[in-house]
């Protein structure tokens, strides 16, 4: 049984407010909040998968910087800016909740309510910070320290999870999904922050191309895209397996997922290597 | 007499002869302390003898009477009318059969089929430890027992399986997986390799996404997800 | 109803077990262990054997641990004899008490999760009527798994039988026994989901269908405990024994009668009346709240009759209090967790803070299908029916006589289940596959046709409720000649009415209505035997209490056998009480005479 947690007044009112929304209230009373969070995790994961395809596509426009810049200009309407900012929500939610799942399943952290409280608090902060960058657009990130710290933390996270679970009898792919997830928490959150500290870092072809010449950045992005596509691929496979029992259909779908992810990886890697 | 409520039940019906399904509405004047099985019996007695439902012990100990009420899988024999009204904040209840096996008629599902999944985890001691030198019982400290005795309370009502985010198509299900965990944690079980194989089957523990609906609905208040997580963690 | 009823197909096996509860499956495990490869089919009314009623048993299973420095099997033997009010069979008591511990160890070795002492051994608690030194002090003899001992046992024997490849057929009822030349060769069963009849031919058939007290308004029994197998035996011309001995458990939760285990009192709970007086001190000065059940049930009714009971508004019923407030939190949370949750859920009281309302509830049938000490079914006081065995609550060997001590039933299931399984293995040595039964018309087809074609105005609920009220009032804890004669009259009417109830649907598939009406008829039949037996036994003994004959009488030192091949065509027989311990004149033999029963 979970340890009882004193819910503050603010939290109580948030919960009761959410509990009044139609679909949420139905599942909150019939399956519990964790069930809703799991659906949220799934939907957020799928959103990110969708985004990554689009992302690789737009990045591939960097081969003709003019098209890329034109595209970016086009995307710079209030609607798209808002969407870009809104992306931080599924991102931070999936990341932190992924972290929570890893803690619950593998590190025996059963004080879920406390973890969720932190998740919500940190998530809100993150979304607000990213939002403030959108308004400010003037922070000058110093690339080297930022990325060395981020990469170091990512590797530590990866290592911690690796050591904890590698010896369990779980399937290797399953373990790798957790391990890649752990790596991506700092890496991906850092990526999004970094790209918005200054508008140019993320949207100006010259700046990007300049940065990408750096072999460290290249190497980091390579690792990043591979881990991410594996994680996403296994995630989709995992969802499919929930609905489709073993047999030819499952086999073909699995093949399809592998194919799509490989093609994406090909384009993604080519892009980084060739630019 | 105690207070009573006028409640409305929208019940999913199914006729195995015509293979027709429909929703039928019953209005019942029910005393607050009636269990839902009593309400169903009352419908049989006063309105419709053909409505089929299932129960046996009628005190939450056998797991025969699982139904889905307003989306929540629960035991019809343990939900009092007043608690139903309190919990769901309504006087209208939608009753559906559990989704974990084919429906036989109305609210009755073929639990025999659902049990196949429990049989798959071989709930007995596959290879018992050698007996105590004195020839009597194996010694187990209360501390050790306590780490898993909670899980032995499961009555296989399949409410958890019906609530789980992972469908039942390709998952042993929370309860069957937990039954395997019990034996993994039982110091008397020596067939650990075989137990691990069951745990880490493709339809085993990976199908659990820690949605914790199992723990949420379990009428025995078993923290099922805790035991499944122990499996992933390899702590047994 | 157009199409004629037919037997859809025939299955063959070595052993057919009618009733996959604790007893039936202990027998199955024994056969599987001793004779690997035996084809066993086990039937149950519920969807899985695990849901059999044994799973609801709470308190414990008695057995004397040979390592216990104080306890000895002879004390347990004596307690059982005394508890039965000198009406159990001594050969059976001795056998069961002697092998009890072996069986506890068997269960533990096969995976049951008994509660443990600090040393890691199986924990034990006191229970009503179980005492040391021939009734001097409380004995710690009930081995338990918290307050779900029956579930522990059921899970264990169920899993063991799965391991031996027993074929389970769930959601079915055995509707008729099959015989050829006086030998039982299997049964006809009716499957609920498909609404089909199957014949199962077997070399040996074991009846283990459990209890039957659903004819009482307040009962701890499950919905399916309707005495079907007793009716099958009666229809086959076989006798049933001692059915008048119905045990009322003193502490049913007020209202539905859900059991509040004796384990609560074993852990120290106290019964109190309106003035919160611990009244059992007056009725049983030594044993107090752990006196045998019949005594306490009568004491509670006495308190209520004399105005010291209470009245529960919601449930419209009288009751007394069970006080659990003084028990340590640890006990509430670990040892009696299940029962406490029942009080919270069904009665809305918190046993840690509130007094709990309880009243007697019909609980256990001491009588049943008469068997010898090997589980072989008897055709009269001597003869046995070849190929037919019985064990568990449905059988009367008789370990309990006219009153059962708590925790002795689980003990009986497991020991007699094993003994019966052992006997079946012996029997199978020279048994051959039975031939098809002679093609006479099946009784069950007549019954079902009657129900399917019924056109009367009677209502199922009305007949059921009349029956349950009638039995509670007139054939309950207290009985008189007048009440019994009246009951028999009304039962005859009810039986007539029960055959005229029109069905909601005449489909055979998952027809709950049809199934329940068949059960109702069985209940009425069994009620008739109970009433007839009670009328004939003009004495008070154990659970059978006649206000007009409040004393035990040596003239009735026998078991009642009742034959009733047709409804209410009753003939009586007698089976002597086995006195082998007394007759052997060994140590303490004098205690096994017809002794006075005081607690
Ligand atoms: C609430 C409760 C608590 C109890 N607590 C204790 C205790 O603490 N200690 C103790 O010693 N005893 C206790 N008892 C008594 C004991 O549990 C029962 O006597 C015992 O479980 C009966 O076991 P059984 O195997 O004979 O029958 P059951 O377990 O009842 O099994 C009977 C089986 O037969 C099947 N069946 C019945 N009719 C048919 C049919 N017509 N066709 C096919 N199958 C059929 C049923 O579906 C079931 O599977 C308790 C009883 C109750 C009700
Ligand atoms: C940022 C750090 C991330 C962490 C910590 C993380 C963690 C996790 C975890 C633990 C799971 C397993 C959930 C389960 O099946 O039980 C998961 C699933 C998944 N992840 Fe991630 N993830 C991260 C990033 C991403 C990204 C960037 C994507 C997409 C591009 C993604 C896509 C998915 C998908 C599709 C699933 C499957 C969801 C499901 O099974 O319901 N994740 N993630
Ligand atoms: C909306 C804000 C984002 C912006 C502006 C942005 C911008 C960029 C840019 C400019 C690059 C080029 C490489 C570099 O400069 O390091 C890049 C690479 C990458 N981004 Fe993003 N990104 C954003 C969000 C995301 C998100 C949410 C994800 C994950 C789902 C992601 C995943 C990646 C990956 C995997 C690469 C490496 C691409 C490759 O190797 O081909 N990005 N991003
Ligand atoms: S874990 Fe709980 S909900 Fe699931 S089957 Fe067991 S008792 Fe029912
Ligand atoms: S609801 Fe299902 S996803 Fe896992 S935690 Fe429970 S089994
Ligand atoms: S009927 Fe047994 S749990 Fe509800």
pLDDT tens sequence across B122-158: 999 999 999 888 888 999 999 999 999 999 999 999 9
Closest ligand to C-alpha of residue B159 is 4
Examine residue C402 and state whether it is found in any structural domain, yes or no. no
Which of chain B's residues have a Cβ under 8 Å away from the Cβ of A27? 71
C210 lines ligand 1 (CB under 6 A): yes
C52 lines ligand 1 (CB under 6 A): yes
* Strand pairing class (B66-69; B92-97): antiparallel
Nearest-neighbour CA in chain B from C103: distance (Å):
10
Residues B159, B197 share a domain? yes
Quote the pLDDT of residue A12.
86
Kindly state whether residues B78 and B36 are assigned to the same domain.
Answer: yes
User: Domain for residue C350, yes or no?
Assistant: yes
Q: For residue C305, what is the domain's CATH number? A: 3.90.700.10
Please indicate whether, in this complex, the C-beta atoms of A242 and B210 are within 8 angstroms of each other: no
Q: Is the dihedral of CA A6, A10, A12, A15 positive or negative?
A: negative
Cβ proximity of C360 and C299 under 8 Å: no
Residues B86 and B150 in one domain: no
Of the pLDDT bands very low, low, confident and very high (cuts 50, 70, 90), residue A4 is: low
Decide which of B78, B109, B140 is a domain's last residue. Answer: B109
B199 pLDDT more than 60: yes
Task: Note the helical H segments in C313-397.
Answer: 329-330, 337-342
Residue with tokens 């299940």: C338
DSSP summary character for residue C555? G
Flag whether residue B154 sits within 8 Å of chain C, measured between CB atoms.
no
Q: What total number of domains does chain C contain?
A: 2
Is the Cβ pair C51, B62 closer than 8 Å? yes
Q: Are residues B103 and B165 in the same domain?
A: no
**Cα(B207) to centroid(ligand 6), Å:** 28
- Does C157 fall in a domain? no
- Pairs of residues, one from chain A and one from chain B, whose beta carbons lie less than 8 Å apart: 111
Helix intervals (H) in A61-87: 65-75, 78-86
Tens-digit pLDDT profile for residues B70-111: 999 999 999 999 999 999 999 999 999 999 999 999 999 999
What mean pLDDT is reported for chain B? 95
Boundaries of domain holding C265: 250-363
Is the pLDDT confidence value at A1 over 60? no
The values of phi and psi at residue A251, to 5°, are: -60, -50
Is residue B132 domain-shared with residue B115, that is, in the same domain? yes
Cα C449 to averaged position of ligand 6 atoms, centre (Å): 31
Q: Which residue has a Cα nearest atom 9 of ligand 2? A: A98
Number of the ligand closest to the Cα of B228 = 5
Mapping DSSP to helix (H, G, I), strand (E, B) and coil, where does residue B132 land?
coil
Chain A CB within 8 Å of residue B99 CB: no
Question: Which structure tokens are listed for A58?
Answer: 């737009």
Among residues B109, B130, B152, the one where a domain terminates is B109
From the CA of B192, how many Å to the nearest CA of chain A? 12
What is the end-to-end Cα distance of chain A in Å, rounded? 54
Could you tell me if the CB of B54 is within 6 A of ligand 6? no
Residue ranges in chain C whose pLDDT is less than 70: 1-3
Q: Are residues B97 and B66 in the same domain?
A: yes
Q: Identify the domain containing residue B123 by its residue range.
A: 111-233
Which ligand 5 atom is at minimum distance from the Cα of B209?
A: 3
* CATH number of the CATH domain containing B49: 3.10.20.30
First-to-last C-alpha distance (Å) of chain B: 52
Q: C421: helix, coil or strand?
A: helix
Q: Which helix (H) or strand (E) holds C419?
A: helix C408-428
Q: Give the residues across from C362 on adjacent strands.
A: C219, C248
Q: What is the pLDDT of residues A154-207, one digit of tens each?
A: 999 999 999 999 999 999 999 999 999 999 999 999 999 999 888 888 888 999
Asked if residue A87 has its Cβ within 6 Å of ligand 3, the reply is yes
* Domain ranges (residues) in chain A: 34-274
Please write the tens of the pLDDT for every residue from A125-158: 999 999 888 887 777 767 888 999 999 999 999 9
* Structure-token pair, residue A250: 């499952």
Q: What angle do CA A248, A254, A260 make, to 5 degrees?
A: 135
Ligand 3 midpoint to CA A72 (Å): 14
C492 in a domain, yes or no?
Answer: yes
Banded pLDDT at B188 (limits 50, 70, 90): very high
Examine the fold and report which residue of B109, B135, B168 is the final residue of a domain before the chain moves on: B109
pLDDT of residue A15: 85
| Total-model pTM | 0.95
Given a contact cutoff of 8 angstroms between Cβ atoms, the answer to whether B222 and B174 are in contact is: no
Same domain for B88 and B128, yes or no, is no
Is C222 contained in some domain?
no
CATH 1.10.1200 fits domain A34-274:
no
DSSP string of C143-187, one letter each residue: E-STT-HHHHHHHHHHHHHHHTTPEEE-SEEEEEEEEETTEEEEE
CA distances in angstroms from C142 to C132, C153, C283, C366, listed in the order given:
13, 14, 24, 20
Considering only the beta carbons, identify the residue of C46, C113, C160 that sits closest to B145.
C113
How big is chain B by its Cα radius of gyration, in Å?
20
If asked whether residues B219 and B120 sit together in one domain, one would say yes
Confidence band for A106, pLDDT divided at 50, 70 and 90? very high
Tell whether B100 and B195 lie within a shared domain.
no
The ligand placed nearest to the CA atom of residue C405 is 1
First to last CA, chain C: 59
Which ipTM score applies to this complex?
0.94
Is residue A3 predicted with pLDDT exceeding 70? no
Q: Determine the distance in angstroms separating the CA of B55 from the nearest CA of chain C, rounded to an integer.
A: 7
Q: Which of A94, A153, A230 to mutate to test the pocket of ligand 2 (most atoms within 8 A of CB)?
A: A94
Residues B118 and B77 in one domain: no
Q: What is the pLDDT of residues A216-243, one digit of tens each?
A: 999 999 999 999 999 999 999 999 999 9
CA C120/CA C262 separation, integer angstroms:
24
Q: Is residue C453 part of a domain?
A: yes
Query: ∠A188-A191-A197 over CA atoms, to 5°?
Result: 145
Do B122 and B91 share a structural domain?
Answer: no
Using an 8 Å CB-CB cutoff, list chain B residues near A251.
Answer: none
Hey, which residues does C189 pair with through a beta bridge? C174, C198
Instruction: Of A107, A8, A90, A104, give the one whose Cα is nearest residue A51.
Output: A90
The closest CB to that of A30, out of B70, B210, B234, belongs to B70
Same domain, B229 and B115: yes
SS3 C202: strand
Nearest residue of B to residue C258 by CA position? B59
Residue C479, domain member (yes or no): yes
Residue that is last in its domain, among C363, C379, C409: C363
């Amino acid at each position: 049984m979970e340890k009882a947690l004193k819910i503050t007044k603010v939290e109580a009112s948030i919960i009761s407010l959410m509990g009044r929304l139609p679909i949420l209230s139905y599942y909150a009373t019939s399956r519990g909040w964790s069930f809703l969070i799991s659906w949220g995790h799934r939907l957020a994961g799928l959103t990110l998968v969708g985004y990554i395809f689009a992302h690789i596509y737009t990045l591939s426009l960097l081969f003709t910087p003019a098209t890329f810049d034109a595209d970016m200009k086009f995307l710079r309407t209030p609607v798209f800016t808002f969407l870009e900012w809104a992306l931080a929500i599924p991102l931070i939610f999936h990341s932190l909740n992924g972290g929570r799942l890893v803690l619950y399943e593998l590190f025996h952290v059963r004080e879920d309510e406390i973890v969720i409280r932190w998740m919500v608090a940190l998530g809100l902060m993150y979304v607000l910070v990213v939002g403030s960058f959108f308004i400010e657009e003037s922070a000058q990130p110093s690339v080297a320290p930022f990325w060395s710290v981020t990469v170091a933390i990512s590797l530590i996270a990866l290592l911690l999870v690796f050591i904890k679970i590698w010896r369990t009898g779980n399937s290797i792919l399953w373990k790798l999904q957790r391990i890649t997830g752990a790596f991506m928490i700092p890496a991906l959150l850092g990526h999004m922050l970094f790209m918005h500290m200054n508008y140019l870092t993320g949207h100006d072809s010259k700046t990007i191309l300049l940065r990408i010449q750096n072999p460290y950045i290249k190497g980091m992005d390579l690792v990043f895209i591979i881990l991410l596509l594996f994680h996403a691929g296994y995630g989709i496979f995992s969802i499919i397996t929930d609905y489709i029992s073993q047999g030819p259909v499952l086999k073909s779908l699995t093949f399809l997922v592998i194919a799509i992810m490989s093609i994406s990886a090909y384009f993604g890697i080519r892009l980084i290597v060739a630019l | 007499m105690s207070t009573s409520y006028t409640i409305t039940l929208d019940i999913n019906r199914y006729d195995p002869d015509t293979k027709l399904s429909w929703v039928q509405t019953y209005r019942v004047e029910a005393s607050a302390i009636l269990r839902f099985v009593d309400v169903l019996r009352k419908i049989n007695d006063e309105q419709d003898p053909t409505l089929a439902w299932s129960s046996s012990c009628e005190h939450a100990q056998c797991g025969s009477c699982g139904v889905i009420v307003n989306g929540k899988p629960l035991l019809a024999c343990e939900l009092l009318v007043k608690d139903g009204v309190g919990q769901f904040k309504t006087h209208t209840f939608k009753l559906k059969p559990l989704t974990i096996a084919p429906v036989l008629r109305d609210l009755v599902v073929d639990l025999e089929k659902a049990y196949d999944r429990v049989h798959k985890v071989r709930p007995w001691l596959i290879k018992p430890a050698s007996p105590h030198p004195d020839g009597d019982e194996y010694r187990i400290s209360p501390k050790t027992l306590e780490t898993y005795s909670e899980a032995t309370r499961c009555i296989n009502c399949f409410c958890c399986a019906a609530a789980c985010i992972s469908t039942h198509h390709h998952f042993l299900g929370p309860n069957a997986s937990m039954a395997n965990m019990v034996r993994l944690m039982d110091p008397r079980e020596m067939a650990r390799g075989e137990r691990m194989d069951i745990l880490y089957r493709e339809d085993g523990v990976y199908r659990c996404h820690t949605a914790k609906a199992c723990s949420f609905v379990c009428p025995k208040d078993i923290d099922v997800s805790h035991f499944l997580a122990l499996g992933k963690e390899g702590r047994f | 109803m157009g199409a004629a009823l037919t037997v859809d197909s025939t299955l063959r096996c070595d052993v057919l077990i009618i009733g996959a509860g604790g007893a039936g499956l202990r027998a199955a495990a024994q056969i599987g262990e001793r004779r690997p490869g035996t084809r066993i089919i086990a039937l149950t009314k519920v969807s899985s054997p695990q849901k059999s009623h044994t799973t609801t048993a709470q308190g414990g299973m008695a057995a004397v641990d040979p390592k216990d420095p104080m306890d000895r099997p002879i004390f347990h033997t004596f307690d059982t004899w005394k508890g039965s009010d000198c009406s159990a069979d001594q050969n059976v008591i001795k056998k069961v008490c002697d092998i009890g511990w072996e069986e506890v160890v068997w269960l533990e070795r096969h995976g049951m999760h008994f509660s443990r002492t600090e040393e890691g051994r199986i924990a034990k608690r006191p229970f009503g009527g179980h005492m040391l030194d021939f009734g001097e002090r409380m004995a710690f003899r009930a081995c338990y798994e918290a307050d779900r001992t029956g579930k522990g046992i059921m899970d264990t024997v169920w899993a063991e039988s799965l391991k031996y490849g027993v074929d389970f057929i769930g959601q079915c009822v055995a509707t008729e026994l099959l015989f050829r030349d006086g030998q039982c060769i299997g049964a006809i069963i009716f499957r609920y989901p498909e609404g089909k009849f199957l014949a199962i031919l077997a070399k040996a058939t074991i009846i283990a269908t459990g209890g039957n007290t659903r004819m009482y308004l307040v009962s701890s029994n499950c919905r399916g405990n309707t005495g079907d197998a007793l009716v099958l035996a009666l229809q086959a011309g076989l006798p049933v024994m001692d059915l008048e001995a119905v045990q009322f458990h003193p502490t049913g939760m007020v209202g539905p009668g859900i059991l509040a285990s004796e384990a609560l009192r074993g852990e120290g709970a106290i019964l109190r009346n309106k003035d919160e007086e611990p009244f059992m001190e007056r009725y049983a000065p030594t044993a107090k709240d752990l006196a045998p059940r019949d005594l306490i049930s009568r004491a509670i009714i006495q308190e209520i009759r004399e105005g010291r009971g209470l009245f529960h508004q919601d449930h419209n019923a009288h009751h007394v209090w069970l006080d659990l407030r003084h028990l340590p939190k640890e006990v509430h949370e670990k040892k009696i967790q299940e029962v406490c949750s029942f009080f919270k859920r069904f009665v809305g009281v918190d046993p840690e803070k509130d007094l709990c309302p309880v009243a007697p509830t019909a609980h256990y049938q001491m009588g049943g299908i008469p068997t010898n000490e090997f589980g072989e079914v008897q055709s009269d006081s001597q003869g046995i029916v070849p190929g037919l065995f019985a064990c568990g609550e449905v059988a009367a060997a008789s370990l309990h006589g006219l009153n059962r001590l708590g925790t002795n039933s689980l003990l009986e299931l497991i020991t007699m289940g094993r003994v019966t399984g052992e006997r079946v293995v012996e029997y199978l040595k020279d048994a051959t596959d039975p031939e098809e039964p002679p093609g006479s018309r099946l009784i069950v087809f007549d019954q079902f046709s009657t129900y399917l074609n019924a056109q009367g105005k009677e209502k199922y609920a009305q007949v059921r409720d009349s029956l349950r009220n009638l039995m509670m009032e007139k054939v309950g804890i207290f009985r008189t000649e007048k009440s019994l004669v009246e009951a028999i009259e009304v039962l005859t009417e009810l039986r007539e009415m029960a055959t005229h109830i029109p069905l909601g649907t005449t489909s055979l598939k998952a027809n709950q209505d049809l199934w329940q009406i068949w059960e109702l008829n069985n209940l009425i039949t069994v009620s008739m035997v109970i009433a007839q037996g009670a009328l004939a036994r003009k004495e008070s003994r154990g659970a059978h209490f006649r206000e007009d004959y409040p004393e035990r009488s040596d003239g009735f030192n026998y078991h009642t056998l009742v034959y009733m091949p047709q409804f209410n065509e009753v003939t009586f027989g007698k089976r002597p009480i086995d006195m082998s311990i007394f007759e052997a004149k060994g140590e303490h033999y004098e205690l096994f005479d017809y002794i006075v029963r005081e607690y």
